[in-house]
Amino acid sequence: MVSRSRRLVLTGLGILSPLGLSAEAFWQALVAGTSGIRTISLMDASRLPTHIAGEVPGFSAKAMIEKSYRKTLNAMARTVELGVIGAQLAMQNAGLGKGTVPPQRIGIEFASLMGATDLNDMAAAAKLTSPDGETVNYATWGREGLNEIIPMWMLKYLPNMPACHTTILYDIQGPSNTQIPGDAAGLIALAEAGRIIRRHAADVMVVGSSEGRLNPITLARYNLFLELSRRNDDPAGAVRPFDATRDGTVSGEGAAVFILEDLDHATRRGANILAEVVGWSSGVDRGLSGQGLARVIRHALAMAQISPAEVDHVNAHGTGTTTGDAFEARGIAAVFGTQTRVYAPLPQFGNLGAASGLMELAASVLALHQGQLPGTINHTQPDPNCPVYVHTGRPQPVTQPYVVKVSYTPLGQCAAVVIRKWNP
């Protein structure tokens, strides 16, 4: 049974981003207009057309993870490490520990994708089966190559591993699921977590996302197939959302994890409430016309029982791509016109894929909580093909109680979430 009377609040936040290793560092950088886009240092990417990205500085899972769990790091790729540590930070921020909530009453919804293999995990097998580097001897692969691959190879990279390791770490025995529809996955995970709480299958849900795109294989593929900015000489100014001079996006890595909780449960334990989740929707705009995205936004507003005039700002994906920004702007403008502020935090940390939606949402949750909205950076020349009012410049006061967060994928999958400023 789904109960619409169960109110949903965000009580914890864990952030690992190119702007720092905490929610506090993230917020301070957003307010200051600081960019986390830099020349890639995790590997030599200098021969790639785009060799800048949003890299999490100084991240060490070994240094941050709870000591009793360190031995499991050998079974984690970087994407998984980011997700698990992000969840740990969110649980700590919410004041929750292992056993704080009955195991059957806490669940997890995570957004992540299949990770690309670390080259070292395949190097020995590749040398054996493809000595010339061009052709593969499949007989040798089956006879000798497989023996050179670590037994836990696949478990390092599966998209459900952040959720799996987190459930073990915190003895989470409630509903557990992983969402994989790319950039829209985080908002879809949040919506599903809300449904789970409202049908009384859990009282608390860990809602997280992580992706590590700074891998040689991934970067090479994205340079071939994605619209990436070539502004290698100006990393901080590379991503220009809804701007006439935009030339593409920039990849990134990170994790954003929320704790979503039933309001009554949160109140009983004296939790610090960041914001309330009041509406959501998802759908597909296969032709990228903007009409499907507008429909999704309207459905989310209807669920929240509010009008566009009550929305302080729309938090856009704002990737800086030519087609993507124009599509997103059409959808937003169809609902809000050009009066409502549009805020795009992505140019400060890059396109984090499955982690983008919740990372971007975190910027607006903190804005509502702090009472001020940071400005969008790198938007100086409005594009007539993007008919929205982009908020830029110095932080400005939050004047309305609601925010709409929008996410989409290049294939047209769309999601929207409505959050409300917490006012007891």
Give the domains, in start order, of the chain with CATH numbers.
Answer: 8-118+154-268 (3.40.47.10), 123-148 (no CATH), 279-421 (3.40.47.10)
pLDDT of residue 4: 60
Which position has the token pair 């109140």? 267
Give bridge partners of residue 222 from the DSSP assignment: none
**Element (DSSP H or E) covering residue 218:** helix 216-225
Give bridge partners of residue 255 from the DSSP assignment: 16, 210
Over residues 21-41, the mean pLDDT reads 97
Q: Could you tell me which residues come within 8 angstroms of residue 164 by beta carbon, excluding any fewer than 6 positions away?
A: 176
The verdict on pTM exceeding 0.75 is: yes
Handedness of CA 37, 14, 158, 177 (dihedral sign): negative
pLDDT of residue 3: 53
Query: In Å, what is the CA distance from 180 to each residue of 110, 186, 332?
Result: 9, 9, 24
First-last CA distance in the chain: 27
Looking at 19-33, 131-145, 154-168, 240-254, which range is the least confident one?
Answer: 131-145
Pair 20, 57: CB distance under 8 Å: yes
Residue range 311-359, pLDDT digits in tens: 999 999 999 999 999 999 999 999 999 999 999 999 999 999 999 999 9
Residue range 38-51, pLDDT digits in tens: 999 999 999 999 99
**Does pLDDT of 5 surpass 90?**
no
**Does pLDDT of 282 surpass 90?**
yes
Tokens encoding 227: 């619209």
Query: In Å, what is the CA distance from 266 to each residue of 8, 59, 231, 274?
Result: 9, 31, 46, 11
Q: Model confidence at 131, in pLDDT bands (50, 70, 90)?
A: confident
Q: Model confidence at 2, in pLDDT bands (50, 70, 90)?
A: very low
Nearest CA to 363 among 56, 49, 23, 121?
Answer: 23
The count of residues in the chain is 424
CA distance 248 to 323: 9
CA distance 109 to 78: 19
| Percent of the chain whose predicted confidence (pLDDT) is above 90 | 83
Q: What is the longest distance spanned by two Cα atoms in the chain?
A: 67
| Backbone φ and ψ of 346, nearest 5° | -55, -40
